[in-house]
Amino acid sequence: MSHVHPTRPGVPEPTLTSDTHVPCRKPGSTDTPASPAATAVPTQHKGPAIHGPLRGLAGFNAAGPAEAEALLLSCCHSRRWAERVAAHRPYPTVDTLLAAADEAGYDLSRADLDEALAAESSALPHPDAPPAARTALRAAHAAYESSFGHAFVISLDGVRPGERLDQVLAGIRSRLGNEPEEERVIAADELRRLARARLAFRLSEALTPRHTGS
């Protein structure tokens, strides 16, 4: 696919969207819910590897600054965002942590947003997608990246798997007509939603690392 950043050996090919649904928690709960084993981690960027297991919210709260920031950078690759969220530990509940991540996401500076968007990669279509759909998606991503200089980001939480490809194509086509500054605002909001969804998912998975770097 045009303009897709290469992945490191042993790291799953990045996908663009946060398409994992995290099971609901009771309000105020400090527990991290179990997630279906068949659900894939919603990564879409070239974030740092996580080399050790962090066990849920308690593990995140107790982790060293570098380890906590590495986890956060795998959700949104803004160094200042990660440092800010990590610095306010301990969080009493998962909901409190997610709210803090949201708040920090609203405060991304222009440089922070540029840093985060530069780490994102364009979504790959499902391997079973028809050739025509794959071609259309490649062309749409290339047109978007040529216009705005970064990968197209969109959160697909709540969108059924069979509808996601159409949703991405429709999103790219509708946003291609935006002025650059208008699109930055939209991309920043989508990135904030993605960061929250990724962080919630990693907590629900007990933050088990996907590879060891060996």
Tokens of 44: 């879409």
Reported as a pLDDT band with limits 50, 70 and 90, residue 156 is confident
Specify the pLDDT at position 77.
97
Q: Is 120 helix (H, G, I), strand (E, B) or coil?
A: strand
Tokens of 42: 């919603």
Specify the pLDDT at position 126.
78
Mean pLDDT within 61-90? 96
Reported as a pLDDT band with limits 50, 70 and 90, residue 54 is low
Mean pLDDT within 150-171? 90
With 50 as the cut, is the pLDDT of residue 51 above it?
Answer: no
Tokens of 194: 């993605």
Specify the pLDDT at position 157.
79
Residue among 60, 152, 46 nearest 69 (CA):
60
Specify the pLDDT at position 30.
40
pLDDT top residue among 83 and 28: 83
Specify the pLDDT at position 14.
32
**Full-model pTM:** 0.71
With tokens 């610095």, the residue in question is: 87
Distance separating alpha carbons of residues 133 and 26, to the nearest angstrom: 40
Report pLDDT digits (tens) over 165-192.
999 999 999 999 999 999 999 999 999 9
Reported as a pLDDT band with limits 50, 70 and 90, residue 206 is low
With tokens 């708040």, the residue in question is: 103
With 80 as the cut, is the pLDDT of residue 209 above it?
Answer: no
pLDDT top residue among 2 and 210: 210
Which of 48-57, 65-74, 148-157 is predicted with the least confidence, judged by mean pLDDT?
48-57
With 50 as the cut, is the pLDDT of residue 52 above it?
Answer: no
Distance separating alpha carbons of residues 31 and 60, to the nearest angstrom: 12
